[in-house]
């Protein structure tokens, strides 16, 4: 059955799109038109603008487009959505905001001590790992999925904790802590290890344990978060089985596998970029040492000649 039966609002989330458009407009107003109002500001780089817009576009695709609706219908799509929400959108947005704007936001008496605390690498990775894992405990997951305000709050919490996790990896703010080289590789690997138990529980379970994807009444309550009540009542649907050929258990296992596969693919790209950066710096340092050695030898030879 096509998901178009749920209507335009459920498919394209126009209100969420409006919010993201307003945020994007504000971003360009601050970084271009109002830039002179900020101390030590610099012209917006094309790369930064592209990264930020890409982050906003990705947020809309996974939380506002048909993917979000499918995430309420099929668990596999929920995990696909979750992977991009916490593993790709946050670094794009962090890198897309200029350092001078980050400095203006963070360097405030109330914000700075709190931000410095929660972006400490060990605390950031533990918080994100715990938020992700606890959210996917069946009892908590089903309760959250059936309450619109709670679901929105948890989505913001997940995204916020992901921003804190990615900060030590991708920020370019002078004076802020940032991993380099092999430490960055270890930090990325650490998160992969932390979220593995939750994914393993989902993949290797013998039963489908999320009521919002197995119980008709719970599924309808969860669907009410993105489908207008009137539309849902008219359709008279009883569960997700009309939209997928997979059983609930197959869907659950596929969802866990999807999360791990997407996570590994994203991390592989970042690991390659980190390794390339580290190798380039090592070669640069080696070239500098070689050049200095040659210069020292020339100076010594000149000194001996003059003597």
Tell me which residue of 206, 175, 188, 181 sits closest to 129, measured CA to CA: 188
Q: How far is CA 241 from the centre of its chain?
A: 30
Q: What is the pLDDT of residues 232-248, one digit of tens each?
A: 777 777 778 888 889 99
| pLDDT at 229 (0 to 100) | 72
Q: Count the neighbouring beta carbons within 10 Å of the beta carbon of residue 284.
A: 10
Q: What is the pLDDT of residues 18-65, one digit of tens each?
A: 999 999 999 999 999 999 999 889 999 999 999 999 999 999 999 999
Percent share of the chain, pLDDT over 90: 64
Highest mean pLDDT among 3-12, 123-132, 175-184, 270-279: 123-132
Domain borders along the chain are: 3-306
Q: How far is CA 122 from the centre of its chain?
A: 18
Q: What is the C-alpha separation between 255 and 130, in angstroms, rounded?
A: 19
For residue 116, what are the contacts with CB-CB under 8 A and spacing of at least 6?
A: none
Q: What is the C-alpha separation between 171 and 156, in angstroms, rounded?
A: 20
Beta strands in the chain (DSSP E): none
184 pLDDT tier (thresholds 50, 70, 90): confident
Q: What is the pLDDT of residues 192-248, one digit of tens each?
A: 888 899 999 999 999 999 999 999 889 989 998 888 877 777 777 777 888 888 999
Global pTM value: 0.88
Mean pLDDT of the chain: 89
| pLDDT at 4 (0 to 100) | 85
Q: What is the C-alpha separation between 288 and 277, in angstroms, rounded?
A: 16
Average pLDDT over residues 83-92: 96
| pLDDT at 298 (0 to 100) | 62
């Amino acid at each position: 059955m096509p998901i178009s039966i749920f209507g335009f609002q459920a498919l394209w989330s126009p209100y969420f799109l409006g919010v993201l458009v307003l945020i994007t407009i504000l971003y360009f107003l601050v970084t271009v038109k109002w830039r002179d109002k900020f101390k030590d500001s610099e012209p917006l780089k094309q790369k930064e603008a592209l990264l930020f817009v890409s982050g906003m576009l990705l947020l809309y695709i996974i939380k506002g487009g048909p993917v979000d609706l499918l995430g309420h219908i099929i668990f596999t799509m929920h995990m696909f959505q979750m992977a991009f929400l916490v593993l790709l959108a946050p670094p794009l947005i962090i890198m897309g905001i200029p350092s001078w704007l980050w400095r203006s936001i963070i360097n405030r008496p109330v914000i700075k001590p709190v931000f410095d605390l929660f972006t400490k690498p060990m605390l950031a990775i533990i918080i994100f790992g715990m938020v992700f894992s606890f959210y996917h405990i069946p009892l908590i997951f089903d309760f959250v999925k059936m309450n619109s305000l709670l679901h929105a709050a948890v989505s913001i919490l997940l995204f916020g904790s992901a921003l804190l996790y990615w900060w030590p990896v991708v920020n370019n703010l002078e004076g802020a802590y940032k991993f380099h080289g092999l430490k960055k590789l270890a930090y990325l690997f650490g998160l992969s290890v932390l979220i593995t138990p939750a994914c393993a529980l989902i993949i290797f379970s013998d039963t489908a344990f999320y009521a919002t994807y197995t119980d008709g009444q719970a599924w309808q309550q969860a669907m009410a978060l993105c489908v207008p009540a009137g539309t849902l009542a008219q359709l008279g649907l009883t569960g997700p089985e009309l939209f997928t050929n997979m059983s609930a258990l197959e869907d659950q296992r596929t969802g866990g596998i999807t999360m791990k596969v997407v996570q590994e693919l994203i991390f592989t790209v970042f690991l390659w970029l980190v390794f390339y950066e580290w190798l380039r710096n090592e070669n640069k340092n080696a070239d500098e040492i070689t050049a200095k050695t040659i210069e020292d030898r020339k100076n010594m030879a000149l000194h001996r000649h003059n003597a």
